[in-house]
Amino acid sequence: MCGIAGIIRFSGLAAHERAAGQAMASLLKHRGPDAHTGYTDGIASLGHTRLSIIDLQEGHQPLANEDGTIHVVYNGEIYNHRALADDLRRRGHILRTRCDTEVIVHLYEEHGPSFVEHLNGMFAIALWDAPRRRLLLVRDRIGIKPLYWYEDEDRVVFGSELKAVHAAGVPRQLDPHALCDYLTFGHVPAPRTIARSVRKLEPGTMAVCTAGGTQLRRWWDIPFDDNASDGSHVAAFDADDWVDAFEAMLADAVRMRMIADVPLGAFLSGGVDSTAIATAMCREGSGPVMTHTVGFDEADHDERQAARQVATLLNTDHREVMVRSDAAETMLTLTGHFDEPFADASALPTYHLSEVTRRRVTVALAGDGGDEMLAGYRRYRFDMAEAAIRNRFPAGLRRFVCGSAGALYPKGDWLPRALRAKRTLENLACDDITAHLRSVALAGGALPALLLEPSVIDATGGYDPFTRGRDLFVRCPSRQLLNRLLYVDMKTLMVDDILTKVDRASMAVGLEVRVPLLDHRLVELVGRMPVNLKQSGPHNKIVLRRTLARWLGPQIAQRPKKGFDIPIDAWFRGPLRSLAHDTLMAPDSRLRQWIAPGVVRSMMNDHRKGLSANGPILWTLLALELWARHDASQSCTELNEPARECVHAAEAEVVA
């Protein structure tokens, strides 16, 4: 795992830019503490920081082909690199290392831009083809690894994190549309970033940059096959056959991700996803797997006992870490790593879990992706039930009856769950995708209108944060509702929340996290699978549970999902109450430029009195305030000081 950064100026780099790539990469040393190198040729300046995983001695980047005309920096792992290297050698290519990076440049020589289709892995790649004066920026199929980029009339700037891009003098002006996105979803979805001029490269996308401009092309998308998934063409491929195929492919995906020249372990929560990964590792390995879990004092959020049971059953070398409310100080640390406002509070336990894991291993396997791929969230069950009711009534009647009833029904977080019907009524008045997006969004998507000053809303020109989700819903090749909802979530929530959280929290401590469930072959298999093997009635992740039942028995396989989150409502009524008040109500609060303090104060008071469960909203506002303070302290229009200090050393070390 690594950090990459660089500048391409097609008219020729200015003198101070020749070492800028390496200087920018110096801000990413947490991603790659083992080496810091660069390359320049007068047009391109590339920088790289390395976390050594494979071929520890020789695999330094930037790495070139035989004649030094093509250079690559990349972040990630290519799991099938050994087979690719063998094939390249048979074709006459000379490879000098055992590392996966070198495979990329030779595949490009062999196949051109379509080289990426041969890779199985997680990656963000920047490849500079000097003879063609062409830069390729590539992001992996699923979006496991991040890549930020900026372009103007003459240059392209890129980096693994936003801070590296800003270090090159890229403008930091806030995008009010992104602010609406953040208050809706708790993160800023790709391709937008919080900075108006910087973009995230989307998953499965390649940017081909030349002096004449940039072309974006989608080189992979999540496939679905309704001929299989509607159940009408599976007579020769029954449920057991699907489970057989899933089991074999999952085992192979885990096997490929156990290749490393450094110690390797796993995250273990006790849920079925991480349990399946740890089990597959134990079935494959020769010694005890090192597993790690995180716990809370609050019993309804604590999974230590379940994880211990699995660890005992698998005979793993198990460790635990506790997270308490004082760990909220970690927010300050994480703010500097996310670079954008980010409100998923589970980033805290993920960071502490990564920290304790990194003390023993350099690589950890995790179970992320199973909920989005196999309908693991409870909301999918509600989505399907609501859709069944919608189909019984005309849309106009639903909008009038359910919409009116929902508007009149009281919002009572203090009511028993069975009586909290307001959101259900409002959802029944909507179409399928809008109802789903409301279930994903904070406060049903109402926060921008509720919180933002009118001037900020006016600046967005009537922007609707649900637009991207609706567009993806239409784009999905499947016509089955569950598949379409999974497609939307895998393209948005999973990438910009779940995978972003894991990447930043783990890279902050120099830990590489690999996610076998998101092997693209497994994703493609599940895309062809009948939907009743993903979710059916109250049951979810059916094919995964059947696989796990084969390995460990039905009791472990049928464990219910327990969300990986923190006791945020309790903390804001107790130990975080003063912190929230003192930070959000401070006279110099930076939120005041966007949000009226009276609305925030009212939310805090209602939460304290138990009238509303506003913990997630307060966390969202607190994260936004901390980001705004941090961003203001980092604001600049040229290479910032940490990078500037590196320039002179980089000029001496850079490969000419």
β partners of residue 210: 213
Q: Which are the catalytic amino acids? A: 2
- Separation of alpha carbons 34 and 439, rounded Å: 43
Rg (CA), the chain: 25
Instruction: Return the amino acid letter for 89.
Output: R
- Separation of alpha carbons 579 and 353, rounded Å: 24
Q: Give Cβ neighbours of residue 354 (< 8 Å, ≥ 6 apart).
A: 364, 505, 506, 508, 509, 511, 513
DSSP for 562-574? ------HHHHHHT
Query: Contact at 8 Å (CB) between 364 and 514?
Result: yes
Other residues' Cβ atoms within 10 Å of the Cβ of residue 215: 11
Q: How far is CA 530 from the centre of its chain?
A: 26
CA angle 50, 53, 54 (to 5 degrees): 110
Which candidate, 450, 533, 442, places its Cα nearest to that of 486?
Answer: 533
Other residues' Cβ atoms within 10 Å of the Cβ of residue 580: 23
Query: Contact at 8 Å (CB) between 293 and 320?
Result: yes
What are phi and psi for residue 297, nearest 5 degrees?
-65, -35
- Separation of alpha carbons 70 and 210, rounded Å: 15
What the block records as the tokens of 48 is: 């790289």
What the block records as the tokens of 633 is: 């302290």
Other residues' Cβ atoms within 10 Å of the Cβ of residue 639: 23
- Separation of alpha carbons 129 and 41, rounded Å: 11
Query: Contact at 8 Å (CB) between 13 and 629?
Result: no
- Separation of alpha carbons 311 and 552, rounded Å: 12
Characterize the bridge pairing of strands 213-218 and 205-210: antiparallel
What the block records as the tokens of 383 is: 């989505």
Query: Contact at 8 Å (CB) between 354 and 509?
Result: yes
> Containing H/E element for 291?
strand 290-295
Strands (DSSP E) contained in 359-467 are 363-365
- Separation of alpha carbons 626 and 584, rounded Å: 9
Q: Give Cβ neighbours of residue 266 (< 8 Å, ≥ 6 apart).
A: 274, 277, 278, 281, 289, 290, 291, 292, 316, 364, 365, 366
